[in-house]
Structure 1
Amino acid sequence: MSTTERKIASAVVPDELRLNVLPRYLGRHYFAGESLVYDWAGRLDRSYEGGHWDFFTLSNDGFYMAPSNQGRVHVRWHMNGYSDMMGADAFGITVTLFALCHLAEKTEDDTIVERYHQLREYAAQHVEAANILRAID
């Protein structure tokens, strides 16, 4: 990391504050965005069967969602040949990136595009950055 790059911090959103997270970050597209996250989870992990997800905010004003209480996940994406294991947090980042990209294409909303880039910047600093970036390539 160069001296011009800043370390981006993440923080889990407490349960009592979750209700406002998606409307804040996705605006009027929050319902479609949440649905796309769960849809992409099923596309990238064939064993995904739902469950509780944590919401995370980022110090660069981004956000992501990640499944709670889940171990490592075997992620496969046929469009780029990616197939590897990653932790639940990295899986959540990957899934949220796919969902944001999809939502940005559907809505052509610059705010959604910005959310994608904020999360992508964080993903590049993540401990599993190599896996995340290979999966979304």
Structure 2
Amino acid sequence: MNQSGISASNTTITAEVVSENQRMDVLPALFGSAFMRGENLITGYMRNICAGYTGGYWDFISLSNGGFYLRPDMEKIELSIAGNGFHEEVSADAAGIVVTLYALNMLMWDSADSDRQELLNHLYQQSEKLKDYAETISEHSAIYRAID
């Protein structure tokens, strides 16, 4: 996989699957010191918003702007988010971006309630990098409706 798009700043952002030997570096780069909780949040959110998700392999996706997200190894995914009325079939990329943004958001709230300013800043930057990429793909409006 190698996708690319143009962000709001007119910079091309590319995405590619992280190789097997580099996977151990992705979660700390994405979630900082909260990497173990971040991974659990992603799979937990997926279980909550996708009735068809029963676990499985996830691709780790690296963005050329320094961002990351996790993508479930599924074709089309039906997401249903009761809190905002979102119910739609999306690609694995869109679903992965949604649950990664949810996990980053939860970790930011947790960090804001503590003295972990460095972690909060890191998570915020990762969230912004992922949103910059999300704006460049064809399903950007579905992603933003899902996280609204």
Q: TM-score range by the shorter chain?
A: over 0.9
Consecutive unaligned residues in structure 1, runs of 5 or more: none
Distance in 2, matches of 1:4 and 1:89, equals 22
Of residues 110, 128, 131, the one that matches 2:139 is 128
- Matched to 1:122, the amino acid is Y
Q: Distance in 2 between matches of 1:94 and 1:9?
A: 18
Match status 1:53 vs 2:64 = no
Structure 1 equivalent of residue 121 of structure 2: 110
Amino acid at match of 2:140: A
Please give the TM-score of this superposition, normalised by the length of structure 2: 0.86
Give the direction of change, closer, same or farther, for the CA distance of 1:97–1:3 in structure 2 (3 Å limit). closer
- Offset at 1:117? 1.0
What's the Cα RMSD here? 1.5
Q: How does 1:1-137 map to 2 (within 5 A)?
A: 4-68=9-73, 70-108=74-112, 109-137=120-148
Aligned residues between the structures: 136
What's the secondary structure of 2:12's corresponding residue? coil
Q: Distance in 1 between matches of 2:133 and 2:44?
A: 22
State the TM-score, normalized to the length of structure 1. Answer: 0.93
Structure 2: gaps of 5 or more residues: 1-5, 113-119
Cα shift at 1:47: 2.0
Residue 83 of structure 2 aligns to a residue whose secondary structure is coil
Deviation at 1:3, TM superposition (A): 7.9
- State the percentage of identical aligned residues: 35
Paired with 1:26 and 1:75, the residues of 2 have a C-alpha distance of 23
